[in-house]
Amino acid sequence: MGDKQGVTPAALEVDPHDTLFAKMIRGEIKPNIVHENEHALVFTDVNPNAPTHLLIIPKKLALGQIHNAKESDANELGQLLLTAGEVAKKLDLLDGYRLVINQGLDAQQSVNYLHIHLLSGRKFSWPPG
């Protein structure tokens, strides 16, 4: 395992509103959408690390760093987890899946826009990294 492609200080300096995820929310880039609701967009990762590797991004919250979240963001953050559970049920992933939020360079965050990885379809080890 090495560094993930695109993990650079410059990538994390991009304004969240200018990232490819924000462009997906605005419809400027078309991802392979698996699920969508009023709070989140769920699509396949272009560089999967498991047989099922989805990204869940918030539609109303362009937040680059989770530690910058405010109390007023709590509902939208909770909706991301609810969406993850909804997608896991929809895709019958209930035998096992992992949710991951990478935060910062050392955690291999490559896009400065809060997102959750939903990984499934293989056995995962512990500890995870």
| In a domain? residue 48 | yes
Q: Is 35 a catalytic residue?
A: no
With tokens 């967009």, the residue in question is: 41
pLDDT digits (tens, 9 = 90+) for 15-62: 999 999 999 999 999 999 999 999 999 999 999 999 999 999 999 999
Confidence of residue 8 (pLDDT cuts 50, 70, 90): confident
Structure pTM? 0.94
| In a domain? residue 85 | yes
Domain encompassing residue 22:
11-120
Pick from 14, 39, 19: nearest CA to 29: 19
pLDDT digits (tens, 9 = 90+) for 61-111: 999 999 999 999 999 999 999 999 999 999 999 999 999 999 999 999 999
| In a domain? residue 51 | yes
Query: Is the pLDDT confidence value at 115 over 50?
Result: yes
Number of structural domains found in the chain = 1
**CATH code for the domain in which residue 59 is found:** 3.30.428.10
Catalytic residue, candidates 35, 53, 115, 117:
115
Handedness of CA 12, 74, 49, 105 (dihedral sign): positive
